[in-house]
């Protein structure tokens, strides 16, 4: 990986709550507005960084990632947010660090195979192994050492976070909120190694692939992508996903800064 003295880390989230505290933790923050988004440049735990909210969906995420690289000189990208579970072993409160991402709503058959992004020859875009390993390590450190200190006991009990784990594998993205068991079960049948579903990561993955920028995606599991998915969603994001993201990114920056 590029040495941290040359690194400029782009941190993208879809929702304000998924990035709560990071901008406030920045040293020397400078805000820039471009393309209806606010980019905050500064230093996070000795890492040169740019924080931005993409808003929801693949187009919004792709535009944001492109601007981070082309206008703000970002060398590495991390997307942090929440996702629905795509596997019975992936529980609410678990963390998934992507090893690869695909667009589950990409279907240009019969011109191209299902899920293949036309003219790339790829269905899946791999994350940067080194960056993902550092991120997974940061997440594991957080769950082991700090979860019980950071979250109130009532939230740990309510969301059954005592056994929270880190998983690494495939995340699928699409421009739809998955809120039915039938839908997630069909996706799982079509993509057996699926771990989580969300709405942005694979778009960022394609942009980073095409621009040659190392990236990774981390998602806190907020729901089981079924009929209960929207119940208390924002409460979970504020109470659990927000502190998860803040402390995992802090630990990642400390690791990268050496």
Q: Of the listed 18, 48, 94, 99, which one is catalytic?
A: 18
Task: Specify whether 223 is catalytic.
Answer: yes
Strand, coil or helix: 137: helix
**Total residue count of the chain as it appears in this document:** 258
Q: Which residues contact 129 (CB under 8 A, 6 or more apart)?
A: none
Per DSSP, which regions of the chain are E strands? 8-13, 27-34, 37-44, 47-53, 76-85, 95-103, 125-126, 166-173, 194-198, 215-223
Q: Of the listed 107, 141, 223, 227, which one is catalytic?
A: 223
Q: Which helix (H) or strand (E) holds 258?
A: none
Distance CA 44, CA 170 (A): 28
Provide the β-strand partners of residue 42.
Answer: 49
Please name the residue that has the structure tokens 């839908």: 183
Q: What is the rounded (10 degree) CA torsion for 71, 32, 16, 135?
A: 50
Distance CA 3, CA 63 (A): 27
Q: Dig out the tokens for 224 from the structure.
A: 């089981």
Kindly list the catalytic residues. 18, 223
């Amino acid at each position: 990986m590029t040495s941290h003295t040359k690194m400029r880390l782009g941190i993208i989230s879809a929702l304000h709550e998924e990035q709560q505290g990071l901008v406030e933790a920045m040293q020397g923050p400078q805000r820039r507005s471009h393309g209806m988004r606010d980019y905050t440049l500064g230093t996070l735990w000795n890492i040169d960084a740019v924080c931005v909210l993409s808003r929801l969906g693949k187009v919004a995420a792709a535009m944001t990632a492109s601007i981070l690289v082309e206008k703000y000189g970002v060398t590495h990208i991390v997307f942090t947010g929440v996702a629905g579970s795509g596997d019975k072993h992936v529980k609410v409160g678990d963390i998934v660090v992507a090893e690869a991402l695909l667009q589950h709503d990409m279907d240009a058959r019969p011109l191209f195979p299902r899920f293949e992004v036309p003219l790339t020859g790829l269905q899946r875009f791999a994350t940067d192994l080194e960056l993902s390993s550092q991120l997974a390590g940061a997440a594991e450190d957080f769950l082991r050492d700090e979860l019980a200190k950071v979250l109130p006991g009532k939230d740990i009990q309510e969301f059954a976070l005592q056994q929270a784990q880190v998983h690494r594998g495939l995340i699928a993205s699409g421009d739809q909120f998955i809120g039915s068991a039938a839908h997630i079960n069909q996706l799982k049948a079509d993509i057996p190694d699926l771990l989580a579903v969300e709405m942005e990561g694979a778009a960022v993955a394609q942009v980073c692939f095409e621009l040659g920028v190392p990236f990774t995606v981390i998602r806190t599991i907020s729901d089981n992508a079924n009929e209960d998915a929207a119940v208390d969603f924002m409460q979970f994001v504020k109470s659990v996903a927000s502190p998860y993201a803040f402390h995992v990114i802090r630990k990642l920056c400390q690791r990268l800064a050496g």
